[in-house]
Each structure stands twice: as C-alpha cells, then as structure tokens.
Structure 1
Amino acid sequence: MNNQIYGIRAVLEAIDSEQPINKIFLQKGLGGELFRELETSIRKKGISSSYVPIEKLNRLTKNNHQGVVANISPVQFHNFEDLVEQVLSKEKSPLFLLLDQVSDVRNFGAIIRTAECCGVNGIIIPKTGAAPITDDTVKTSAGAAFKVPIAKVDHLKDAIFYLQSSAIQVVAATEKSENDIYAVDFNTPCAIVMGAEDKGISNSILNLVDHKAKLPLLGEIGSLNVSVACGVFLYEVVRQRMS
C-alpha cells in the first residue's frame, strides 16, 4: 500500500480532506506563501511534523517532493468523544486502552493484536509522541489494526477527564503502586493506561487516575516489555469478567 504523499499542494489537500496523517517532514529553510500556509494548517490540526535536511526528503522519496513529504496512516482514526458515546450506548462494561507515549511501532502492533483478542472497545493515543500506524504496525497486529477503533487526542489528560465523567474508572499500570493488579475490580466500565517503554506513565497522568496497579515480578529484572505487560492486564480483565 502507498502510505506517502509528497508536494506542498498535495499535502495541503490531504490535510483539508482529513486524511489520517502520521507525520509530515518539512525541508529546513524553505519559504514561500504556500509553504507558510502549509505550516499554519499543520499547527491548526495539531499534526506531528519535523524540519529535516533535503537529503532526508530525497531518501524518503525519489519523486519531486517540493520540500514536503507526509506519511499517511493505513487506517482511519476515530473521533474520541464519538467513539466513547457509541461504545457506551452498546456496552454495559466497556473496556478502553490508553497508551501514554508508547513509541515503538512493533510494540504498538502487538498491543493492538492483544487488545482485539481481549475485546477492547477502543484504543486512545496522543497526537504527538505516540508510535505511528505503519505497515509494520499493521503486520505485527496481524490485521487487528483494521478491527479495533483507534482515536487520537490532543492530550491524554483531557481524555481521562472525559472517561471519568462518563463513569469509567481509569487504572494505571505502574510499578509505582502498593497494590497489585489482582486487587482491582475490573467488572465495571474501565480504561487501562499503559506507559512508554523507557519512562512508564508520566506523573501528570498518574495523578489523575482512579487506581494504580502493578504486576508482581519475582525475578531480578524490574519490568516487563510494555506489550507483554499490557497482555497480562487485559487478560486479568477477561478472567474477572468470565468468572
């Protein structure tokens, strides 16, 4: 599949038509009225972008890029609030997954695959700092990326406030907790937050959640891979809800 758009006007058209753009690469030092219009549009839409040397753009595509290359997601993103309301209208005990700066595309794909197997109703990621959905993500997810609704939000904190106002408890998976996962009641509407591979969940997010829970670790290594930890958390939800 072709997940790349190049050229200033073509990328502007993609933004205006609400294409699911992962990231836009802009040539350093480029100017002109149309380029500035593109920069303004990128800022207004909150699209992830970076300024790079022309050599990087030349490596991304051999076509006439005019100083702009955009990577397009192979899946369409959902509106967060609409997704939550749709799920709440159908499910008695919905299950959401929030990813705080998970940045590895293969971890992301593995998480999506497990989420689909565990009946997760939606995955929520921030617009910036999160792993993009690439062909590798889709492949690692075994196609689950086309089945689980994924929503992008400006700030995860706002998403948490919205979920809590909708009577959905938010549980953070973190070693910074006295309680382990088995002390949490998952038989209610809930959302699980998983953190970045290197730093875990940010303190600003931890301060907002309803519960914090850790996994018991009996060996000497202090943490699990985030996709593995996510699988353990999700299957504890499944175990409780099936018992």
Structure 2
Amino acid sequence: MNNQIYGIRAILEAIAAEQPINKIFLQKGLKGELYLELEAVIRKNGISRSYVPVEKLNRLTRNNHQGAVAQISPVSFHDFENLVEKIIQREEKPFFLLLDQVSDVRNFGAIIRTAECSGVHGIIVPKTGAAPITDDTVKTSAGAVFNIPIAKVEHLKDALFYLQSSGIAVVAATEKADKELYEVDFNRSCAIIMGSEGKGISASVLNLADHQAKLPLLGSIGSLNVSVACGIFLYEVVRQRRI
C-alpha cells in the first residue's frame, strides 16, 4: 500500500484535492516561501504535523522529499454532521462511538473491528492526537475499517453538543463513575466515549457527558486495555437491544 507523498508541491496538491492525510512530517528549521505556504495550508486545514530532523525524513523515503513527507490514510473520512444526519434519518436508534485521544494504531484497529461487529453506525475521532489509520490499523481491524464510517472533528466537545442536540445520549466510559454500565439504558439513541490509553477521557469532555459508567473490576488490576473495555461497552448495547 503506497501511503506516502513527498515533496512540498505534491503535498500542497494532495491537500487541495482533499486527500485523506494522517500526518505531515516537516524538516526542522527549513525556510522558503513554498515551505511557509505549506505550513499555512496545514494549519488552515487542521492537519496533524511534526517537525523532525532531516534524518527522519531520509528514513521515511529515499526520494527527494524537499523537507516534507505526508502519510496518506488508506480510507476517506466522512463529514461529521452529514454522517450524523444520514444515520438519524435511516436508523431508529443511532449508535455512535467517540474516541478521545486513543493513540495506539493497533488499539484503534481492534476497536474498529469490534465497533463494526457490534453494529456501531459511525466512529468519531479528533483531528489531532488520535491514532492515524495505517497499514497496521487496517490489518488489526481485519478490514473492518473499510466497512464503517469514520469522521474527524476539530473538537470532540462540539461533536458532543451536536449529538446531544440531535437527541442522542452521550455515555462516558470512566472508572470515576458511580454507577456501572449495566445500570445505564442503552436501548435508545446513544453514543459511547472511550478515553486514551494513559489518561482516559479528558475532564472537559467528561463533564459534558449525559451519563458516566464504569466496568466492575474484581481483580487487583485497576483498568483494562481500552480496546477490551470498549468491546464490553459496545456489546452491552447489543445485549440490551436484543432483550
């Protein structure tokens, strides 16, 4: 799978053509009018970027990269509002999954696979800080990444407000909750938020959720891998809707 574009002009053209770009690596300390134009376009489009030494770019490609290498996503992302409206019109009980800064590509792939199998109608991730869709993501998802809509948003908080205003209850998965997930009514339009591997759901997002729920942990370990925890939450929705 060819998932790289190199060269400043080529990357500018890819952005203009709305190619799904995961991330752009830029050479530290580089100057020049075209380079500054690329920086401005990256900022305007909210594309994730990293400033790296030239050695990093040389490892990414042996071609003449001109100080810039872009990683292309193997799938196209959906417009968030259009996706939500389409699902609301089509489904009696919309079911969404939001991921707050889940950054491991294999965890992301495993979550996508479980979400597709459990009937999630769409996955929503932030444009920055989220795991990219790479070859490893595709492999771990067992190809499910091609079967479920994924939308990127500037801020998850705005996505929460939009979902709530559309009549969709937002449930945050957090060990800080007072009640367990089995006490939450999922037999309705709902969206589940899962947090990052290390920090969980950010406080600003957590406070906006309609409900908070936790998993019962009966052993000595205080948490589960996010993809495992996500699977339990998603299949509790399936269980309740099949009763």
Give the structure-2-normalised TM-score: 1.00
- Structure 2: distance between partners of 1:15 and 1:206: 33
C-alpha distance in 2, partners of 1:149/1:118?
14
Check if 1:215 corresponds to 2:215. Answer: yes
Structure 1 distance, partners of 2:80, 2:225, is 27
Cα distance between partner residues in 2 of 1:32 and 1:206: 43
Alignment of 1:91-130 (within 5 A): 91-130=91-130
Q: Does 1:67 align with 2:76?
A: no
Secondary structure of the 2:64 match is coil
Deviation at 1:194, TM superposition (A): 0.1
Query: Residue 75 of structure 2 aligns to a residue in which SS?
Result: coil
Unaligned residue ranges in structure 2 (runs of 5+): none
Q: Please state whether the residue corresponding to 1:125 is helix, strand or coil.
A: strand
Give the Å deviation of 1:29: 1.1
Q: Matched residue pairs, number?
A: 243
| Secondary structure, counterpart of 1:35 in structure 2 | helix
Deviation at 1:38, TM superposition (A): 0.5
Aligned equivalent of 1:84: 84
User: What does 1:22-61 align with in structure 2 at a 5 Å threshold?
Assistant: 22-61=22-61
In 1, the alpha carbon distance for the partners of 2:81 and 2:211 equals: 22
Distance 2:192 2:7 in 1: 40
Report runs of 4+ in structure 1 exceeding 4 Å deviation.
none
Aligned-partner SS, 2:62: coil
Distance in 1 separating the partners of 2:17 and 2:31: 24
CA RMSD of aligned residues (A): 0.4
CA distance in 2, matches of 1:224, 1:52: 33
Inter-partner Cα distance in structure 2 for 1:39 and 1:195: 30
Matched-pair identity in %: 78
**Which amino acid in the other structure matches residue 77 of structure 1?**
F
Match of 1:26, SS? strand
After superposition, what is the alpha-carbon deviation per residue over 1:162-187, rounded to whole angstroms, capped at 9, x for unaligned?
A: 00000000000000011000000001
